[in-house]
């Protein structure tokens, strides 16, 4: 893995603003100096595709398992009880058992099921003699494995049975899932491979078609033996869909979906700021990650009649040096927390679309030492929550502050909106407590004006903040006398305002968010020629609506189209979530265009045109937020 992205650049570039040309035209300096207005309505339940509760198992997670061999009982108690972290992802268990599994004497290309059963009984006995593990923690796991060890080919000798055939690989995985767990604690998610396509060059005989076909065969056998397990892929490392004018999309993600998508329960992607194995150094936080999610959703809906859910099984920031061991840097940890929290605040807008999101934060992960050459005493992998010192002892890293910030956050979604897409906001009602979570993902300080809380009579107000713009992350908490009318947020700063009341607020209305996908996608842009998208069976009524346009263009092209909705011209913002993508060869991002509700009917048409040619409009999604009394 070669990485050329500078962590020092990343720490100040997540939400940079430039107005040098049509593509990078962001909000004006005058707008940037105005307070961001955040409207909060504690009486309005926010239902996102039918989901109303914030689920920590879905979002507050760690890339580790509840039975890693290098963790102590007190380490797990800290994660589970103190920080309320959910698991997790395991890339080694299936690999280790496969290596020990004998071949079937009658079918040498298949695993011996008796051998799998024996290993399963030993595993269960070992677990019974160890610390008690809540079935929920085991159930929430994603299992994956490296393609080099699992891709079926005649030359694969990593296990006694290969796997040399896809059927043998499928049999092992299905029997492994069946016998190592019970119906109560069996892992819920299975990724057939981890990041296979970027490694195909390293595996003899590997092709995208072959990887995709193996997904199908594995999924079908798993459904026969353990139908409760959700199977997904392809677990993309390089999600640069727009590369080569979306040739990358055609040859990778689309091809996988065409071959294997019908048999997948979910599609999984890794979304990082920085470089993940290959590609350009870039920030995906904000509009870029939204465009990736929307484009996959759009094609899924067109292909199968439903936008199948997605999983983000790795995300965050990849620093310079990647997975190698290095001296500890609090400043680097601050930048990693900043990217991770900014992405999480975006993912939380999709609890109906994203089954699970996992930041690439590891526990002690002793396997990371010496993986990139001999580790010098005192150096460690940058993704660890505990690093090993030169004397062999362990100390927590600053990355734990990510979880400390989210400690105790629960609740039902309530309605909120921000006047600036770079000020992310979520609003939760947890019994007698209101949680207002905000993050400034810009590279400049912003004043935030809070509307809708002035009539509350709190019994206590607590402000928790996390700054990431200095030499180290800083987590602070203070008691306030009253609910503040405004807050000042530094670049990359997160704030959690906890408002305690004498009694819970009873909601009186609901905002039902639905996503409506266009009947076509991936339109080539030709200067001044309208591109048409149609939407059918759209809900109408009171509320608000947003047209989500995912646009991919060369960096010298305009990303400010003329948009008409049912014949009426809309005002297209010049600002979007995240940075201006100026350091990239292409722009690929989702731009939100407000649509007045009185323009929306059951069937709708939008036309989009640009002043210049080149690139594509990848997807158009109409989000309707229908307001109704309870």
Say whether 304 sits in a helix, a strand or coil.
helix
pLDDT band at residue 346 under the 50/70/90 scheme: very high
Q: Out of 3.20.20.80, 1.20.140.10, 3.40.50.1820, 3.40.720.10, which CATH number does the structure's domain 86-318+342-360 have?
A: 3.20.20.80
**What pLDDT shows up at residue 594?**
97
Tell me how far apart the alpha carbons of residues 59 and 559 are, in angstroms, rounded to a whole number: 32
For 187-217, write each residue's pLDDT tens digit.
Answer: 999 999 999 999 999 999 999 999 999 999 9
Instruction: Please report, for the chain, the start and end positions of each structural domain, with discontinuous segments joined by +.
Output: 22-47+409-500, 86-318+342-360, 512-629
CA triplet 307, 44, 630: central angle to 5 degrees?
90
For 121-166, write each residue's pLDDT tens digit.
Answer: 999 999 899 999 999 999 999 999 999 999 999 999 999 999 999 9
Q: Out of 3.40.718.10, 2.40.30.170, 2.60.120.1200, 3.40.50.300, which CATH number does the structure's domain 512-629 have?
A: 2.60.120.1200
Mean pLDDT of 217-228: 98
For 22-31, write each residue's pLDDT tens digit.
Answer: 444 455 555 6
Extract the tokens encoding 505: 């607020």
**What pLDDT shows up at residue 29?**
52
Tell me how far apart the alpha carbons of residues 231 and 184 are, in angstroms, rounded to a whole number: 18
Tell me how far apart the alpha carbons of residues 341 and 17 are, in angstroms, rounded to a whole number: 20
Residue in this structure with the two tokens 């048999």, named with its chain if needed:
263
In 10 A of CB 34, how many CB atoms?
Answer: 14
Q: How many CA atoms lie within 13 A of 49 on its CB side?
A: 16
Whether 426 contacts 345, CB under 8 Å: yes
pTM above 0.75, yes or no: yes
Q: Out of 1.10.8.640, 3.40.50.11540, 3.30.1370.10, 2.60.40.1180, which CATH number does the structure's domain 22-47+409-500 have?
A: 2.60.40.1180
Mean pLDDT of 349-371: 96
């Amino acid at each position: 893995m070669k990485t050329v992205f500078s962590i020092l650049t990343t720490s100040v570039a997540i939400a940079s603003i430039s107005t040098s040309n049509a593509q990078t035209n962001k909000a004006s300096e005058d707008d940037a100096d105005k307070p961001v207005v955040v409207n909060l309505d504690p009486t309005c339940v926010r239902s996102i595709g039918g989901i109303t509760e914030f689920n920590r198992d879905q979002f507050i997670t760690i890339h580790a398992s509840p039975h890693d061999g290098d963790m102590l009982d007190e380490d797990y108690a800290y994660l589970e009880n103190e920080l309320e972290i959910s698991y997790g992802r395991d890339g080694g268990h299936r690999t280790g058992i496969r290596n020990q599994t004998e071949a079937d004497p009658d079918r040498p290309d298949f695993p011996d099921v008796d051998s799998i059963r024996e290993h399963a009984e030993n595993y269960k006995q070992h677990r019974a003699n160890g610390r008690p593990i809540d079935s929920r923690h085991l159930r929430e796991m994603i299992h994956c494995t490296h393609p080099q060890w699992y891709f079926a080919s005649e030359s694969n000798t990593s296990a006694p049975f290969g796997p040399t055939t896809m059927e043998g690989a499928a049999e092992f995985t299905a029997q492994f899932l069946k016998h190592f767990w019970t119906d109560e604690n069996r892992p819920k998610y299975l990724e057939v491979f981890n990041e296979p396509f970027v490694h195909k060059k390293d595996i003899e005989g590997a092709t995208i078609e072959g990887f995709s076909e193996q997904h199908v065969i594995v999924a079908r056998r798993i459904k026969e033996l353990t139908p409760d397990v959700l199977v997904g892929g392809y677990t993309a490392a390089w999600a640069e869909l727009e590369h080569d004018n979306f040739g990358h999309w055609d040859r990778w993600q689309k091809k996988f979906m065409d071959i294997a998508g019908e048999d997948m329960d979910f599609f999984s992607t890794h979304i990082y700021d920085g470089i993940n194995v290959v590609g350009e150094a870039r920030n995906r936080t904000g509009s870029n990650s939204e465009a990736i999610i929307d484009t996959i959703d759009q094609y899924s809906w067109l292909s199968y009649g439903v936008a199948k859910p997605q999983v983000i099984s790795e995300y965050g920031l990849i620093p310079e040096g990647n997975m190698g061991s290095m001296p500890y840097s609090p400043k680097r940890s601050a930048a990693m927390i900043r990217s991770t929290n900014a992405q999480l605040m975006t993912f939380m807008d999709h609890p109906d679309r994203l089954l699970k999101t996992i930041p690439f934060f590891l526990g002690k992960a002793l396997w990371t030492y010496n993986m990139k050459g001999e580790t010098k005493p005192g150096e460690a992998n940058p993704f660890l929550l505990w690093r090993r010192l030169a004397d062999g002892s362990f100390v927590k890293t600053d990355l734990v502050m990510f979880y400390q910030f989210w400690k105790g956050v629960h609740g039902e979604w309530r309605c909120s909106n921000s006047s600036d897409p770079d000020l992310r906001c979520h609003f939760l009602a947890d019994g007698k407590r209101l949680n207002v979570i905000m993050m400034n993902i810009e590279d400049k300080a912003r004043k935030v004006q809070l509307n809708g809380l002035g009539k509350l009579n709190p019994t206590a107000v607590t402000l928790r903040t996390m700054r990431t713009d200095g030499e180290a992350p800083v987590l602070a908490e203070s008691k306030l006398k009253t609910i503040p009318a405004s807050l000042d947020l530094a670049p990359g700063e997160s704030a959690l305002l906890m408002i305690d009341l004498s009694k819970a607020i009873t909601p009186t209305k609901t905002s039902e968010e639905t996503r409506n996908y266009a009947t076509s996608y991936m339109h080539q842009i030709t200067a001044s020629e309208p591109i048409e998208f149609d939407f059918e069976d759209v809900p109408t009524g009171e509320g608000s609506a947003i047209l989500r346009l995912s646009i991919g263009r060369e960096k010298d092209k305009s990303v400010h189209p003329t948009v008409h909705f049912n014949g009426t011209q809309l005002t297209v913002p010049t600002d979007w979530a995240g940075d201006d993508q100026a350091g990239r060869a292409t722009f690929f991002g989702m731009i939100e265009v407000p649509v007045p509700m009185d323009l929306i009917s059951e069937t709708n048409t939008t036309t989009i045109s640009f002043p210049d040619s080149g690139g594509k409009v990848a997807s158009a999604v109409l989000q309707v937020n229908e307001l109704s009394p309870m």
